[in-house]
Amino acid sequence: MSGIFISFEGIDGAGKSTHIERLANAFRAQGREVVLSREPGGTPLAERLRQMVLNDAMDAMTEALLVFAARRDHLQQVIRPALDRGDVVLCDRFTDATFAYQGSGRGFDWQILSVLESWVQAKAEGGTTPILVQPDLTIWFDLPASIAAQRLAGARVPDKFESQPLAFFEQVAAGYAKRQAADSARFARINADQTLEAVWRDVDRSVRAQGLLPC
Ligand code: TYD
């Protein structure tokens, strides 16, 4: 069985978590081994980098380098071995978050992020175009920034990103839209401004439509 890699994206407050758990159970019901992970994080080293990225003030380049360093470790230690075993990897955020947050949100150079992506995720040299480890499917929970802000208000003590103003999240959302436009076959854009059950139906449908679960 070949491994399956699915990432989950969206601005803070878009409500990914319950659907990731539910999708894990849907794969387990098919007899698949599921690896649940997150970025930044997923290994002891990457979790330490996560603490810095989420709590310490730094410029956007430093942030980008740290999230890609964390991603490298996560790919080497967890994601690649799991895919090689034929497991299903469900990852709460991956590289699209770096383009959305550090690129569009904080204004860091999109081209440099592409270079870092091609270094960190290179799987093999295929002629002039390197083959990258990329998710088979990216489920993007799309929600207006104003609604996400209402959902987050008072929910918990905000981290460095969650305490950003509305305009930041509007830029982040635009970053996700740009990534989707560049690679639309990989993306399922879900309207996250619906009831939990309606969102789940769309998530479930998008995974089956991609042939990753039986219809
Ligand atoms: P999040 O995934 O929302 O976790 P939690 O639900 O525990 O808050 O938090 C991760 C934060 O890190 C989120 O605000 C987005 C940010 N982030 C980046 O800025 N760049 C990245 O490359 C990644 C993966 C996340």
pLDDT (0 to 100) of residue 20: 98
State whether the beta carbon of 9 lies less than 6 angstroms from ligand 1.
no
How remote is the CA of residue 41 from the centroid of ligand 1, in Å? 10
Query: Which uninterrupted H or E stretch holds 132?
Result: strand 129-132
State whether the beta carbon of 8 lies less than 6 angstroms from ligand 1.
no
State whether the beta carbon of 46 lies less than 6 angstroms from ligand 1.
no
Question: What stretches of the chain adopt beta strand conformation (E)?
Answer: 4-9, 34-38, 88-92, 122-126, 129-132, 137-142, 187-191
How remote is the CA of residue 146 from the centroid of ligand 1, in Å? 18
Report the percentage of the chain scoring pLDDT > 70: 98
Mean pLDDT, to the nearest integer, of 203-211?
Answer: 98
pLDDT (0 to 100) of residue 105: 98
State whether the beta carbon of 169 lies less than 6 angstroms from ligand 1.
no
Q: What are the distances in angstroms from CA 79 to CA 50, 89, 145, 188? A: 17, 7, 30, 21
How many other C-beta atoms can be found within 10 angstroms of the C-beta atom of residue 118? 12
**Which amino acid does the sequence have at 209?**
A
How remote is the CA of residue 156 from the centroid of ligand 1, in Å? 15
State whether the beta carbon of 39 lies less than 6 angstroms from ligand 1.
yes
Enter the DSSP assignment of 131.
E
How remote is the CA of residue 28 from the centroid of ligand 1, in Å? 26
What span, in angstroms and rounded, lies between the C-alpha atoms of 66 and 84? 26
Tokens 């208000």: give the residue: 153
State whether the beta carbon of 96 lies less than 6 angstroms from ligand 1.
no
State whether the beta carbon of 40 lies less than 6 angstroms from ligand 1.
yes
Query: Which uninterrupted H or E stretch holds 166?
Result: helix 166-182
Summarize pLDDT for 102-144 with one digit per residue, the tens: 999 999 999 999 999 999 999 876 667 778 999 999 999 999 9
SS3 readout for 172-214 = HHHHHHHHHHHCHHHEEEEECCCCHHHHHHHHHHHHHHCCCCC
How remote is the CA of residue 202 from the centroid of ligand 1, in Å? 23
pLDDT (0 to 100) of residue 125: 65
Question: If one looks up domain 4-209 in CATH, what number appears?
Answer: 3.40.50.300
pLDDT band at 52 (very low <50, low <70, confident <90, very high): very high
Mean pLDDT, to the nearest integer, of 19-44?
Answer: 98
How many other C-beta atoms can be found within 10 angstroms of the C-beta atom of residue 68? 21
How remote is the CA of residue 40 from the centroid of ligand 1, in Å? 7
Summarize pLDDT for 61-72 with one digit per residue, the tens: 999 999 999 999
Enter the DSSP assignment of 32.
-
Report the percentage of the chain scoring pLDDT > 90: 91
Q: Which structure tokens are listed for 202? A: 């769309």
pTM over 0.95: yes
State whether the beta carbon of 67 lies less than 6 angstroms from ligand 1.
yes
